[in-house]
Amino acid sequence: MNIAILGTGAWGTALAISLASKHQIHLWGRNPEQMAQMAASRSNQRYLPGFALPPSVQIHTDLATALKTAELVLSVVPTAGLRDTLQAVAATGSRIPLVWASKGFEAGTANLPHQVAAEVFKEDILCGVLSGPSFAQEVAAGLPTALTLASSDVAFAQAIAGKLHAPRMRIYHSDDMVGVEVGGAVKNVMAIAAGICDGLKLGHSGRAALITRGLAEINRLGTALGGKPETFTGLTGLGDLILTCTGDLSRNRTVGLKLAQGESLKKILRDLGHTAEGVSTAREVVRMADSLAVEMPISRSVCRVLYEGLPAKDAAEELLSREPRSENSRKK
């Protein structure tokens, strides 16, 4: 299958490397200088150093050329860039089936990626979301991972999952786009909280409690938005949450660790050099929770640390001092 991968960050590059063993990959990026460097060195020194691009991967700076023979478009850009990227695709006249790997709520609108796609493509196109517990470095290295491809068109989800499936990258299918997208978005906010927990040295027991209560928040918001409860105990819910909250390669957890050490958010993001989706998503999660009357104390505390100057230590103390409730209460 000919696949156009849009986005040359770490994840887009890792997917290009992994999928090239079975498919013809056309890798497109906006930055001409970066693309020239990648074409010359056959690697992505900025975002995924140390991994060679297979010779079969073609590199493009012209979007129309990248899409010319594509049978599937795989958009792998941060949520902040998703609308612009999809608009650029739509402007070419393309109606090629589309899958995105963005994780987050769009800043300013609180839209999930499938809602952004629906606004851009006024007519129906086959589309879906690819998500799950995965670090770019591990996928590029050929280590095993499992992902979920979700679409409202079950036949499309099953067909594309089958074509992308490989022994080292297992792809399952689902019809729950909302649940998959909410899990992928909110887990990044929880990873910032987990980083704060670890940075404050609150212990493994404290982190386990936070992850568990974080999953409850994801479930509450996700089901309020129409997601299926079982999705949140699967790969794109619990699986992605565990990885992002515990893995040393997690950018969002790194943000939390450094916040706990007293570093400013501006410096943290500058030093990180990559997008940490949880930072922008936190505001939209809280806004969405307020509009739906869903209680999300961990998300709210993270948002206050990020944007209201609340010290990380004080945020932890506030959460720890909350009154106990029934574990199964809808209000936690």
Q: Are residues 15 and 141 in the same domain?
A: yes
Residue-range definition of the domain harbouring residue 90: 2-175
- pLDDT value at position 329? 62
Q: Are residues 230 and 136 in the same domain?
A: no
Domain count, the chain: 2
Pick from 55, 53, 57: nearest CA to 24: 57
Of 150, 175, 200, which residue is a domain's last?
A: 175
The answer to whether 105 and 284 have CB atoms below 8 angstroms apart is yes
pLDDT tens-place string over residues 227-237: 999 999 999 99
Q: Are residues 60 and 167 in the same domain?
A: yes
- 90, part of any domain: yes
Average pLDDT over residues 31-53: 96
What span, in angstroms and rounded, lies between the C-alpha atoms of 228 and 325? 24
- pLDDT value at position 16? 98
Is residue 187 annotated as part of the catalytic site, yes or no?
Answer: yes
**SS3 assignment, position 131:** strand
- 329, part of any domain: no
Q: Crossing angle for the helix pair 297-307 and 312-320, nearest 10 degrees?
A: 160
Q: Out of 187, 201, 266, 267, which one is annotated catalytic?
A: 187
Which amino acid is located at 327 in the chain? E
Average pLDDT over residues 104-124: 94
Of 123, 145, 175, which residue is a domain's last?
A: 175
What span, in angstroms and rounded, lies between the C-alpha atoms of 197 and 201? 6
Average pLDDT over residues 106-114: 95
Count CB-CB contacts under 10 A for residue 32: 10
- 327, part of any domain: no
Q: Are residues 139 and 224 in the same domain?
A: no
What span, in angstroms and rounded, lies between the C-alpha atoms of 256 and 229? 27
Which amino acid is located at 45 in the chain? Q
Q: Are residues 165 and 205 in the same domain?
A: no
- 326, part of any domain: no
Confidence of residue 331 (pLDDT cuts 50, 70, 90): low
Q: Is the pLDDT of residue 330 over 60?
A: no
Q: Are residues 155 and 227 in the same domain?
A: no
Q: Are residues 235 and 163 in the same domain?
A: no
The arrangement of strands across the sheet holding 98-100 comes to 58-60, 24-28, 2-6, 72-75, 98-100, 127-131, 145-150, 169-174
Q: Are residues 161 and 47 in the same domain?
A: yes
Count CB-CB contacts under 10 A for residue 41: 12
- 328, part of any domain: no
- pLDDT value at position 332? 46
Percent of the chain topping pLDDT 90: 94
Q: Residue 246's domain is classified under what CATH number? A: 1.10.1040.10
* Of residues 123 and 22, more confidently modeled: 22
- 330, part of any domain: no
